[in-house]
Structure formats: C-alpha cells, structure tokens
Structure 1
C-alpha cells in the first residue's frame, strides 16, 4: 500500500527523512496533496499549506494562519487538535496521512490570543487573574473595551487615515524660516493588489493628503476580516462586568476627627539579636509631608514582632487630600547604645534600615480604606544620604510575599458606612466671593522677581504667603509658573485645596514643554493630572515620540492603575503604529522590574488586544532577540576559545536564519532587516562579547545594515543621552543650524539587554591614531593623524566638504557633551565617519560624573577640543584663524539655542528620576544641568560663562592628550 493512505504506523516507524505524501483538507474547499518530511513541525507544515494554497482560486477565502488549527485522527482513533505547533509530524503519528484545517472559534481564539500575548510581553496573563484584585480586574475590563473599540474604528478608517496610522512619515525637522518648502509624493503598492496608492506631504502640513487611489487592496480587506473575527470571538468570551453595590455613603469632609491607623504586627522580619525594631510612618502628598512623622514603640527583634499600637497623625480626616500616601519604614536600633558626645537626640533613628512600603489612604474608587491590610515590604538600601521613608517609591506591594518582610495594619471604621472623597465637580466651587485682593507695588515687583527666576523652587514663608495671595495674578500673568504655586499650596488644608482646584479649572492651557513638569511625583492630585494631559494632547506625533521615554517613566509615579496618562498613551499608540512600537518596547524592557511589572504588563496586554496585527510584527522581533541572546550566550559560555567562524556556522542553521531574517528593526520600525548575512557577522572583543550582525538592504544598490546586540550592559543611560542629543539637533535645525549630529539608534529591550545601530564607514580616533603611528606612546600626540585619514578617504574636491562636516559636528558635540556633562571621554569612544562627521559613543557617565582613578579626576576639561581637532578645522594651516572663529561661532550659537530651551531639558531629566539610573536619582543630580544651561541667568551672562569654558577646554587640552596616551598604551597589543 503506498504511503499517504492507510497502514501508516509502519511509515512513522521508519528512520531517516524519507518524505511522505499527505492530504490536506481546507475549510474553504481547497484540497492539497504534497510531500512532507517526518521531521517537519506542525508550524512548518502550516506555512507550506499557505504557500501551496496561494495558487488556488479560493485562496482569498482563507484568513490569517493563526486563526486555524490542524486536526487529525490519531493512533487511538480519536480526533485530535494539534494546538502545540512545535511538535514534529513524526511525533503526532496520525492514523491516516490526512490533516484537516479548521477555524478556531470562541474560547479557542481567546486561549490562543492569551498565549501569544503572554509569550510576547514576558508575563503570563494568569498572573493577573491570580491577583484576585478588584482594581486589576476593573482596569483590564475597561482597557480591553477601550483598546478593542479603537481597533474596530481603525478597521473602518478611510485610506488617508489608515495610511497615516500604518506608515507614519518620519521627516527631519527644518527651520520655519526656510524658503525651500518641500513637497513629498509617496507611492504605495501592495503585494496583493494591482493598484497604486499615492499621497502628498508638505513641510507646512505634515499630515498626508490623499492624491489618488483606485480601490481598497485585498490586504486591507483580509486584515479587516481577520481582525473582526478575532474581536467578535474575544468579545463573546469576555466576562461580564462586576456588579456594583449600592451603599449609603458620607462625605469625607464631614469628619473632623484626627486620622489614625493601627499598627498590628510584622512578619518574616530578619534582624540581628540585641536590637529593637521600630516602625516609622508618614503621611505624604507627593513630596510634601502632610504632618509630623509618627514613630512606633520599640519591640524586641523576632520574626513576627507584635506592636498592637495606634498611630495618631496630626491631621483631621476631613483635611486628607485625595492622593494621601501612607509611607512606612521598618528599621532596627541598637539596644541601650551609648551615644557619642555631641550627637543630637534625633539621630537615634535608623542604625539599620530594613524595609519600606507605601500604600494609598483611599482606594481606586475614592473610598477611605477600612479594615486590615498586609503590606509586603521592599528591602531598604542602606545609604547615609537618604531618608528612611520613601514617598517617591511605588505603592505596589512586593510580589515576593514568601520572602519579604510584612507589616499588618488596620484602617479604622470611622462610620458604619463608607467615606468617600468628594468628586471634582463638587470640589470646583466658585472661588469668587466678592473679596478683592489688593497688593502694593513692592509686592508685584517681588512677584515678578520670583516668577522670572526659573531656578527658584524653594521659598521662604513670606514668599509662600505672597504667592498664595496673588495666585490669580499668577494665573493671569505668569501661567507657565503653575508648578511654583502648586508647590506652596497647603494640601493638608481642605479650604486651600478647594481654592487651588477651582483656580485650575480656569487656568489657561500651557505649552506642552511646560506641562511636562507637572507629571512629577510632587503633583499627584487628579485635577493636576487631568489638566496636564489636556495640555499634552496638543503634542504632534513626532513631539510625543521625542518625549515618550519620559512619559513611560512617570507612569511609575501613578498611584492607581486607571489614570489619564495611561489612557492617553494607549490612545496615541493605537492611532500611530510608530508610537505603539516604541511604547511597547519601553514598557517591555522593564517587565522584569518587580515594582512595575504588574502595571506595565497590564498596559502591554491592553495594547496587544488593541492591535492584533502589530502584535505579530512585535512577536517576530521578540523571537529574533531570543535567538540573539542564545548566540551571545553561546559565545560567552564556550569551554574553549570561540572563533568568529563558530558563530557564523551557528547563524547559518535554519532555525537561526529564519528567526533573524525578514523583520522590522526594533531600533526603527521603518527599517527592514532582510536576510542576515552570516559571513559578515562577528562578535566584538569587549567583556560582554556584543554581537555585530549585518543584514542585506532590501532596496537596490543600498548599503548593508548593521546592528549590535549587547547582553550584560544597561543601555538606558545611553538611550537617554542619545535622546537628548537628538532633541538638541531638532532644536538647532528649527533655528536653521544643522550641525550634522549622529544620534544613532539605541534601544533597551530587557534586563541589561538591547540593540545599538551600527554607524557604517567610521572608526575610532584611537584606531586612527594608532594606525598612523609607530608607537602607542606618541600616537595621541600625532596632530596630523586625523587630517591625513580624512585626506585618504576624501580625495581632492571632497576634502573641503569633509572638513566642513567635521567642523559642524565637532561644534555640536562640544556643546552637547558640555551641557550634559558627559564623562569618560577617551579616544576610543569618539569616532569619525569617512565623510568627516565626528560623533561620540558609550555614555556611561553624565551630569558631571567624570571618571576618577585612585581618587584623581582624570578628566579636567569642560569638553573635548584638542589641537588635532583644531588642526583639522583650520585645514592644517596654523594661521587659518577665520575657519576657527567660524567654528567658535557655531558653538556659541548652538549653546544659546539650548539655553533658551533649558527648562525643557531640566524637566525631561527630572522626569527620569523614576528610571533608577545610578547617576540620576534626585533633584540634586540635575543641578549640574541647571548650571551648565545657566538657568536663571540672562543670555549674555550665560554666553560669557560658556566663552570661559571654551577657552579652558582649548588651553587644557594637553591634559586630554595625556589621558588618551594612557588609554592607548593600555589598549595597544602590538608586539
């Protein structure tokens, strides 16, 4: 009997890869018959089915492959669904060589989608369900409805809007004064359509304008049909909303009793014997302490210490602001310790900090909490400079409940029924009560002085009284100084809160760059958050992308899952695929961080449900990253010295070639990484053995594309620095100054893992100097090395343009590295392209954290401007002062533009405090930036200071050369 019909048991037992003829029955009436290998997986066979079916007349009746599953009759004569697609057909062993394809329906689609989302976001959805948390359940239900509704609307978009979503234009900024307005025509042809769609974009109007389209492509029809099928199936399986109980309620403002909580006991506490355990508790509104910190009694160290003590706070329940946060610190003190002379009594605290935890006083439904709560704490990091309480920290409990110390507390039942904070519409009463504020000329002069000083954020009591007295004048004359008024508002006094919230209702909308400041954890009130998002809605897609890193970080300050910032980001991400791409990766890269894993995981789930097709693109990228990590582990863990050839052999394996080829670059979703070129791939010599991966460019006659995969280094600080350099370049270009910067792509994709764009045709200054010198000791002092290298790469008429490129880019990086305080600037992390552009790489130190060795500061110049740089700028002529003065003018002009935008840079860095970067944890770390941008000083004063720094950098450049010499000597491995 021939293979492929009956008696297949013997065929499956045969060894080897002898192909077997199989029949395939498809749901739209197509019958296929072709050979497969017994070692082929179900997934591979499904791809073969779709490939063979493309030539059939009824192919367009098929939807997406993932909407179908194979069934067969197994060896026990039972119908089996082949859900696990990684199985080989040899292991399935169907009784007859017939596979039937059936559409997934109902909960099968839901299960498949859930599995795919879990794998993609790196967190099982069952973990959300296991929370058994009403807030989590309500947020998931609300966001799912919101995102799926957006997805349904997107399917019905007209062509123009659908194109804007799917293929957002990425044009460089240009000066508003430019007379050369550009018109860009875009032609798009779909594989499954014979028609061409054309659209037009102007510099003046960045939106796409439809020029012509013939018909809707089959691609969009199929996409819409498949999405509708998935969404209908998911909607059928969605659980009904939780029933709402009607209860008698009372307003919080009717309770004029002191607020208190009951500290019951601890659990799993680990501390040395001979010590006493103490709990400190503080009520905060953002960064403001609402009343005096309360300290518990001391109890003897044990695993489950018992306090059973009421902690009274010096604030009435009626005066608790809506975003009141209760912060706890558990610490141990030495019993009967003798204090050194001169030690103040208050220093008795915290001989040994153990843990901290925060919780909100109100729940997510505005109800004052009642009953017992077991708070799973976070371990404290001993630091003499930090306070015990951590109001900036998360309000999430530590998910490591089995090992983390716990605190059991009880909120009192003040009344037999729930107490609610009044809603905003009841808070916003009219403030105008007939009283007129009279201020004298001296007070108005003082107000102007405070408002004009952008660096003025700490106030004396008389200044606070003045600001509060003239708050309506601030609204009318200085609306951009809203943050100063919010900082001096007494949030522990409900009358002031009412007046501030009411005033906010009539506050004029702020420019987005000023509104960003209000997302700091110091301003948690819901009215402020809503006002801020209202201002941010004016951001264009390009501007939103520019600030997206910060917007994701300040999500960590949010006290509840459902917040206006989350909804805003999801809404914009679902309206622009490029925003969605980067929102996904910024969230996905921190899914391993316990304090945000729940929040970020829920947002990722919502985004995936709102964009099933984008989820497939992201899954392909994620699979490629998994393979890259496997390759990197292979290189680093080899028992013997690995060679580049070993790596290339591995890449050439079918599973690696398939996973690493044909994907959109995570660094830039507008770039296609076609086939990986195994023979061009290598690993680098540094400690973490980064992979250097090269790809063929799908466009004819285009250069190859390269990416570097790093595993073991935290790339987030590099991401932030490159974002700032990109922002600087945008600001300069808008002023008509193009300094030829190279803010290359950099993306963190996981825990100490990420990608960096390869800047082709470039080399480090160290290599250029070493290759042109006979001795490493003299290489750094060879002033002709750079100019000669540029001459060799740019013969005759091209040299002048290369030197101009060098001059412009050198000016840009001098200013950028000075303003950002970039450290560790040796000749191996400054590079030059063959076209002349200079650029910096590796930003491990910034904000003035310069590298030291043996306690000595090795970097003693404000920025790198060596005489060999000047030699290139002056075209090798010592008397060419005109060229150098033009370079100096570029620097000064660039610096003045940044100073005018100084507040924006300070706000963006302040928003990054939540990221946990070692060199950016508090406002003190940002002081360097305020000083370098001369915040609070006039433009003339700022420029005068910069000129001093410029002269210093040039005069002291010999110290840089000595540092470079030491680096070259350490690096040189020539015989």
Structure 2
C-alpha cells in the first residue's frame, strides 16, 4: 500500500481496505480506520472469522501475533498492540496472523506484566540481584502450581473460587472452646528423602506440623530402609523451597526431607561460639554534595526492629568533597554471637559546621548534625541466613532537611536507592571473621537449647503482690511503655504472661533483650493468638522470623471476608519485611489464588510489585488497565480545556469507537462481581470542582439500575480508602452485636499515583444542595431547619416517611460515632449526603485523626462531631416535644460507641500498620494518639461512656457554630467565579 495514502486518510475518516491471512488458511478482507490499533483490528478479525470455516481451530487471540512486511522491506512482528495501523504502514496492506511459539509467548507475558505494574521486567534483570532472581523464579513456580491445582478443582470448589459469596456480618455464635474436634480429618503427605529416589505416604493430623511429621517420617524411613539417624535435628523439611512449613488448606502436600549436613558447608563454625565484637569498615563515600567549610560525618547503629542493640558509632570528621575517604573501622558494643537474625545496620550521612577548638576544661561539644544529607539501611545477614562478608556499595536515600532529631531511620527500607547515578553512596566492607561462611543457627537448634534450659530449671517464685501488679499492667490496654521495675517484673513472670495473658504477647516481646541470645531462647514458644490480636505482631518492631512465622500461622484462621477486611494493612506491612521471600508474601499469594475477590484487590494494592502481576495476570486486568488509561485521557482532556468546556464535549469524546470499546465490557475495579457492560455516554459528565472528577455511567449485566463510577485524577485517595475501610469495619462490628446502623461505606480504590475510582451512591444529594434548593439565598440556606425533613417528605410519601426517618436516625448515629472516633475533619454541608431512602452518609475524607481545618490560625471546626438542630428536627419527626425519639437516637450512639471501645486496640493496630503507607497525617505513633484518646483506651467502660456523653452534649450545644461554618462555606462557593 502506498505510504502517501496513509497521509491523506489520516486527515479524514476514509477507511483502508486490508487483507488478513489466518493460520487456518482462511483469507479475510475488510476495511479498517487508520486510527485503529493492532489490538482492535485483532478483535475485528475474530469477529469476522466467526462466520468462516475452521473458526473452531483458532485458539485464544492472545496466542497469536500479527506479522507484516514493513516499509523497509523487513518482516516485523507487531508485539506492541497499542500501535495504530497508520503508524505501522504494512506493505500492500497485508497482515498475517501467526501462532506464538516458545519465547513469543514468554515475550507477550512479560510485556503484559510490564504494562500492568508500570515497570519493565528488564529493570529487575539489570539489578543482577540473586535474591530478586530466586524470588521471582520461586513465586512463578508457586503460582503455576496453584493454577494447576485450581484447574483440577471439583466444580463446587471452582465456583467458590470464581464467585465467592458476599455475606452480611451476623451476630457472633457462642464460643465452642478450644477442644480439638474428634472428627478432624487426617491428610496424606508424600515424603521423599533427598538421598534416595523412593518416597512413601504418611497419614498426618493437620495440627501436628512440622515436628510430628518429621518424627513420623524418620520412623517410617527406619522401618523401610533399616538405616537412619534418629535425631530430627539432623534433618530439615522442604516444601516449595521453604525450610519449614506451616499447614494451610491443602488437600495434598509433598515434602522433601534433606540431610541438614548437606545443606550448608561442612567446614563451618557456630555463630554462637564467636564471642568477638562485631565490626565493619567504612571505606569511602561517593557523589556527596555539601557546602564548603563543613565536615562530613557518618553515624552507624545496629537495630532489631525499633530497638537499638548497642551504642551508636560515629566516624571521624572529614573534609567535604565528592568522594570523602574514611577508611575507618567501626566496632559495635555487641558480640557476633549475640547478633539477632534480623539485625539491621543503619547509616546516616550528615555535615557539621567546622568550629574552633574549645579551651581546656570545657565540656566536649555535642556532635549533633547541622545538616542531614542521606540515610541507608542494610541487613547484617543475607537472605540465606549467612553473615555478610565483602564490600557493598550502598546507594543512599536523601534525608528530610528539617528533621534533625532522628538521623538514623531503622523503619526505612533496606533496599538501595535505584537512582545510583545521582544518589550519594557509602562503600562498606563486612569482615571475614572466619575463613568459612557463618550461618545463623536453624530454629530447631534454638528449640533444643531452650528445652535444655527448661530442664535445668528456669521457673521463678512468684508472690501474690507480683501477680496483682502483673494483672494491673496487663489490664491496661494503653500500656506500651514500661518503667524498669515493670520490665523486670514482666520478664520474671514471662511464663505467667504466656499461660494467662497470651493475648498480651506483644508487651513481652517489646521488653525482650534481643541483643542477648539467652533471653531470645527463653521467648520462643507461645499458644496461638486470635487472628485480630496477631495483626499487631506484623509491625516493624517485631522483625524476628520466628515471631512473623507464628503470626502468619495465627492469621491463617482468618476467613476470606475477614482477610479482605484487613488486606490494605497486610499489603502495607510487606514494606517492613527485610527479605522478598517471607511467610507473609506466600500467605497472601496463597489466599489470593484461592479466592478471586482477594486476588482482585490484592492486585490493585500491590500494583507496584512484580509479584502482583505474576499471579494476577489475566485478560481482565489488561482490559481494566486499558480502560484506566482512557479515563485518564478523558480527565486530561477536560482539565486542559478552556472554561467553556461542556459536558457535551466529554460525551462526544466518549462516543469515539476507541473509547467506547475500551470503556465497555469490563469488570468493575470497585467490585469484581459487577460487569460494566455498556457505557452510557449521554449520562456521563464531569464535576465543577478543582480536579474535574468524571462521572461514568454504565448499564450492568446483572441489575436494572445504572452503575456509576467517579474517576479522580489529582487526588490521593489512599486516606479515603483507609477511612472507608474503618467505617466498614465499624459496621461489621456493630452488626455482629445485633446493631445495624445503615452505614454506606461506598467503594473507593486508589489505582495509581493520585488517581483512583469512587462508587457513585445513587439517588442521593448533598445537604448543601438540599438547603440551597429550599432557600432564596446562600446566607440563609444553612439555617433552614425544615429543608431536610421537607426533602425527605417529598421523596417518601405517606407510609414510607416513617421508615425514611428511621433510616436517617440510625445512619446519623453511626456517622456521629464514626467521625468522632476517627477525628474526621473538614465536615461541611457539601461532603455530607442523604439518600432518598433516608440514609445519611459522609464523603471526602481528606483530614482525619483530629487534623481539623484552620483558617487564619482559627480552628473552623469546634465540635466533636456534626449533630445540628435540623438533624434533630428530622429525628424528632418535626415535633419539638418528641424527646422519646431523640433519646432512642442517643442510645444508639452510646451503644455503638461502647462496641468500638471494646475493640479499641484493633483500630489502633490497624492504623499503626498503615504508618508505612506515607500518608501525610499518619506517619508515627504520635498521630495515633487521637485514636487512643477518642476510644478511651486504658479507661473503664463507665469512664469511657461518661466522656462520650460530655462530647455528645457539646456537639448538640455548640451546633450553631457548625451552621455558621456551613454558611461561610456556602457563601464562598456561591461567590466563586
């Protein structure tokens, strides 16, 4: 086809006649638009081929690729299917469809993964990191095995995976006790020894992993092969490459038993026998940028979680230059034998002002940093349990300029800054303490030592007074910082804590001396915790692998619905994991591959990770990803337009074939149970606010009413997601107690950097609109107490009104309590809405945890929560003397608040797990103090309720201030140009 022909047709809408050669020998000929993409043309080929012979011989479209002869007379494979045909310019207008073979399939898969995660896989390969490569290979194998298992599921289990039930929370059943059921089914395990080719089956109780399995395997081997060492500690179990396996929901498991002596070099020393100080060498820096006239200093500290293991070591000062030279030995006040497995070495690079020497007799000056430059962390042991040796170039992360209080950042990542060409670097060397590798001793070795210590006697004599003091400490749920005498008492009575207060395990772990291995050995065996209590142990303060493995064992008790409830937090605490291959990663992947709904949301929460795409890669996600690209293009189009941009311009753009195709027939990212079949361009619009959110309306295939989603580009929706998650959790807790407060935790999903989707709540309006539509001026609208009640009457005639008022009463109580507990700020009449059925709900959660809006230094919100007299007017059905209705509303509030207080630590723990998310209003434990105060942690239920009653009366008494704030908001909005 002549090249000039494309140039002419690109200016108009004239179509191009194309020839298509199919692998079945069929020839097709039909017109295409110059702007059609390769992907859309492939869809047209499949559509036209349906009526042709041999169509059934064709496989999935993704199994084929177009080839052509390009304008340079070369054969070209059109892998990039987003290209337009006018950009390809195939010779003679001929495209040939061929089956992908071998690396073609691999290339397509890698291309799709790269598109989904927004990062090319070549970037991982360029790192040449053995840990990354091994982890990717292992996860791929793991996911492939799970996919094969899923294909063999019986139809009922396949249905449960593909269409998981979405059930309403109900009242909790009575506890059945912890007695093991007599009907527990045993499972069959295939065991294979490494040194021989034969294997055998064992029947095992699911609760008896892994020690009992090891003993059974050794006993069986002794019977079969007549020759075996009988000590379990001489062997280790492997399943999917893991050293120890905790039983999950597996109908069949396969183990390999390896001789431990074959796993690691024979010529080794026990790490615990090396009572020499740990040290490293700081050699030099690179690409350091600091002002002349200053000196450069490096500070180094050893941490285990948040605990500093020994004194911080500081280098000598060197003159500022791009490549400063230290060549200094940094020795730490801790022996190699006492290094915890998860020891983290933290560095801070900073500059100090060069000062004149002080006269004799004066105190030594404090070397506090004048200018923090950078920080970086690295693990002391590698991912294979080996103590590091050799040189490492650490690419640092820039420090926050105004933060001089904490130079070291143990909570930060152990990953190096990928911008190696611009980031400052530190070259360090780990010494060869012995001529052979040193490994951290395996867990079963620790258990043997612990058992020996218990045999030798480790019990303490406990007095009555000590038990009473212990109970006092344990009963104080807000007690996380201890005096020295309290620490001594807790440690002395650690067996009492384990046996009688096992839900307070975190308190015991916080006072454990992780720099003394004998103390660590004494604190390794616990009873399983309830899953919601175990969540706390995923914080970065508890990095020990035994603790985290124990935690995941407890989390396996979570149902799919419960796991979904806490999924955001579980994804965030992945940032605290020091190694890629960890129990939490495997647990999340395992559950995601067993429940499509979990997999769907895990993909979005993990979109920045390669592992997410590796297990979630399906055509549906590719379609959703393409649709999001079109939504962003629409948003950019609306934002770039002039003030005369209208909804008709948006509708015209959506009606283009490429937009209609991309935005139709896809799973809703907000709810994978809903298929968005046909986008209704006539119903779409954009909102007149700063970020110009776009409303997209759909006809779903499963319900009559339209479904709406709002695409936001420019706002960080992660805080909204967290707030709505908490509101959903509150509703679940209330429903389990038999209290349904008719909440509306609408769908919200962050899909990228300052980009996401929000569910449209149908048949609803803002209080501001309702008030404005019933008043003549913006100044008086906020004070019209009859506006809400009259609006409800207009939407609910006759006998429906009582039900609508009841819905309003219940939901108003729920949101009063929820917004008070969470400290939701910026509550004006444009972000409180009401459905026509009467349900009140809040939207836009840009401020929480007591971060209320201020203007000219004055707090604009001076009430604990929103309870205005027009709300009370609706609750009392328009009658001022209807105190019975109002008292019932008050009782709803108090009952809801007491339920939340009883679950206060759950909310605190969930917010604490989100510290790693980087939300501006949630960065440290100080930000969570508001939550502890609002939930009255550490106080009795009577004291907490008394405090809430004071807040309730204050909200009611000071509601006129809210009305003034609403009036000012309405006037400001009314006066906008």
TM-score range, shorter chain: 0.7 to 0.9
Matched, 1:433 2:478: no
Q: Is the 8 A contact 1:177 1:736 kept in 2?
A: no
Matched, 1:478 2:478: no
Alignment of 1:811-960 (within 5 A): 811-960=813-962
1:313 positional shift: 0.8
1:938 positional shift: 1.6
Q: Which moved more, 1:877-886 or 1:926-935?
A: 926-935
Residue segments in structure 1 that go unaligned for 5+ positions in a row = 1-7, 179-242, 592-599
Q: Is the 8 A contact 1:32 1:53 kept in 2?
A: no
What is aligned with 1:780? Answer: 782
Q: Is the 8 A contact 2:695 2:710 kept in 1?
A: yes
TM-score (norm 2): 0.86
Q: CA–CA distance in 2 between the matches of 1:937 and 1:584?
A: 40
Q: Is the 8 A contact 2:370 2:404 kept in 1?
A: no
What is aligned with 2:308? Answer: 289
For residue 65 of structure 2, the aligned residue among 63, 69, 77 is: 69
1:57-106 CA distance string (max 9 Å, x none): 64343321110123456788876544344456677666677654332111
Q: Is the 8 A contact 2:674 2:702 kept in 1?
A: no
Alignment of 1:566-645 (within 5 A): 566-588=585-607, 591=608, 600-601=609-610, 603-608=611-616, 612=617, 615-638=618-641, 641-645=644-648
State the superposition RMSD in angstroms. 2.4
Q: Which moved more, 1:471-480 or 1:515-524?
A: 471-480
1:22 positional shift: 3.3
Matched, 1:119 2:115: yes
Q: CA–CA distance in 2 between the matches of 1:9 and 1:651?
A: 32
Q: How many corresponding residue pairs?
A: 878
1:20-45 CA distance string (max 9 Å, x none): 47353334x6x353423373544333
Report the 3-state secondary structure (helix = DSSP H, G, I; strand = E; otherwise coil) of the residue aligned with 2:749. strand
Q: CA–CA distance in 1 between the matches of 2:705 and 2:474?
A: 53
What is aligned with 2:189? Answer: none
Q: CA–CA distance in 2 between the matches of 1:244 and 1:471?
A: 35
Q: Is the 8 A contact 1:261 1:411 kept in 2?
A: yes
Q: CA–CA distance in 1 between the matches of 2:85 and 2:470?
A: 79
1:749 positional shift: 0.7
For residue 498 of structure 1, the aligned residue among 511, 521, 527 is: 521
**Kindly tell me: are residues 244 and 125 of structure 1, through their superposed partners in 2, closer, same or farther at Cα, counting changes over 3 Å?**
farther
1:387 positional shift: 0.8
1:237-282 CA distance string (max 9 Å, x none): xxxxxx9995733221111111111111111111112211111111
Q: CA–CA distance in 2 between the matches of 1:623 and 1:704?
A: 22
What is aligned with 2:179? Answer: none
**Kindly tell me: are residues 315 and 692 of structure 1, through their superposed partners in 2, closer, same or farther at Cα, counting changes over 3 Å?**
same
Report the 3-state secondary structure (helix = DSSP H, G, I; strand = E; otherwise coil) of the residue aligned with 1:896. helix
Q: Which moved more, 1:926-935 or 1:32-41?
A: 32-41
Report the 3-state secondary structure (helix = DSSP H, G, I; strand = E; otherwise coil) of the residue aligned with 1:580. helix
Report the 3-state secondary structure (helix = DSSP H, G, I; strand = E; otherwise coil) of the residue aligned with 1:864. coil
What is aligned with 1:968? Answer: 970
For residue 165 of structure 1, the aligned residue among 158, 161, 176 is: 161
Q: Which moved more, 1:553-562 or 1:378-387?
A: 378-387
Report the 3-state secondary structure (helix = DSSP H, G, I; strand = E; otherwise coil) of the residue aligned with 1:273. coil
Q: CA–CA distance in 2 between the matches of 1:73 and 1:637?
A: 39
Q: CA–CA distance in 2 between the matches of 1:316 and 1:852?
A: 53
What is aligned with 2:185? Answer: none
Residue segments in structure 2 that go unaligned for 5+ positions in a row = 175-261
Matched, 1:22 2:19: yes
1:693-717 CA distance string (max 9 Å, x none): 11123246x2211111111111111
**Kindly tell me: are residues 337 and 742 of structure 1, through their superposed partners in 2, closer, same or farther at Cα, counting changes over 3 Å?**
farther
1:375 positional shift: 0.8
What is aligned with 2:190? Answer: none
Q: Is the 8 A contact 1:20 1:35 kept in 2?
A: yes
Matched, 1:544 2:563: yes
Report the 3-state secondary structure (helix = DSSP H, G, I; strand = E; otherwise coil) of the residue aligned with 1:674. strand
Q: Which moved more, 1:553-562 or 1:466-475?
A: 466-475
1:762-801 CA distance string (max 9 Å, x none): 1111121122122222221111111111112212211111
Q: CA–CA distance in 1 between the matches of 2:16 and 2:310?
A: 79
Alignment of 1:191-340 (within 5 A): 246=265, 248-336=267-355
For residue 480 of structure 2, the aligned residue among 424, 434, 457 is: 457
Report the 3-state secondary structure (helix = DSSP H, G, I; strand = E; otherwise coil) of the residue aligned with 1:248. coil
Q: Is the 8 A contact 2:143 2:615 kept in 1?
A: yes
Report the 3-state secondary structure (helix = DSSP H, G, I; strand = E; otherwise coil) of the residue aligned with 1:686. coil
Q: Is the 8 A contact 2:834 2:841 kept in 1?
A: yes
Q: CA–CA distance in 2 between the matches of 1:46 and 1:829?
A: 45
Q: Is the 8 A contact 2:32 2:41 kept in 1?
A: no
What is aligned with 2:32? Answer: 37
Q: Is the 8 A contact 2:20 2:97 kept in 1?
A: no
Q: CA–CA distance in 2 between the matches of 1:553 and 1:871?
A: 43
Q: Which moved more, 1:961-970 or 1:902-911?
A: 961-970
Report the 3-state secondary structure (helix = DSSP H, G, I; strand = E; otherwise coil) of the residue aligned with 1:509. coil
**Kindly tell me: are residues 386 and 45 of structure 1, through their superposed partners in 2, closer, same or farther at Cα, counting changes over 3 Å?**
same
Q: CA–CA distance in 1 between the matches of 2:761 and 2:774?
A: 22
Q: CA–CA distance in 1 between the matches of 2:269 and 2:66?
A: 59
Report the 3-state secondary structure (helix = DSSP H, G, I; strand = E; otherwise coil) of the residue aligned with 1:323. coil
Q: CA–CA distance in 2 between the matches of 1:783 and 1:75?
A: 73
1:877 positional shift: 0.4
What is aligned with 2:581? Answer: 562
Alignment of 1:378-777 (within 5 A): 378-384=397-403, 386-429=405-448, 430=451, 431-435=453-457, 436-501=459-524, 504=525, 507-588=526-607, 591=608, 600-601=609-610, 603-608=611-616, 612=617, 615-638=618-641, 641-699=644-702, 702-777=704-779
What is aligned with 1:790? Answer: 792
1:55 positional shift: 3.9
1:923-946 CA distance string (max 9 Å, x none): 111111111111122211211111
Q: Is the 8 A contact 2:6 2:89 kept in 1?
A: no
Q: CA–CA distance in 2 between the matches of 1:827 and 1:171?
A: 33
**Kindly tell me: are residues 69 and 449 of structure 1, through their superposed partners in 2, closer, same or farther at Cα, counting changes over 3 Å?**
same
1:830-873 CA distance string (max 9 Å, x none): 11111111111111111111111122112111111111110110
Matched, 1:152 2:148: yes
Report the 3-state secondary structure (helix = DSSP H, G, I; strand = E; otherwise coil) of the residue aligned with 1:738. coil
**Kindly tell me: are residues 918 and 86 of structure 1, through their superposed partners in 2, closer, same or farther at Cα, counting changes over 3 Å?**
closer
What is aligned with 1:199? Answer: none
**Kindly tell me: are residues 563 and 111 of structure 1, through their superposed partners in 2, closer, same or farther at Cα, counting changes over 3 Å?**
same
What is aligned with 1:128? Answer: 124
Q: CA–CA distance in 1 between the matches of 2:28 and 2:123?
A: 43
Q: Which moved more, 1:533-542 or 1:755-764?
A: 755-764
Q: Is the 8 A contact 2:280 2:331 kept in 1?
A: yes
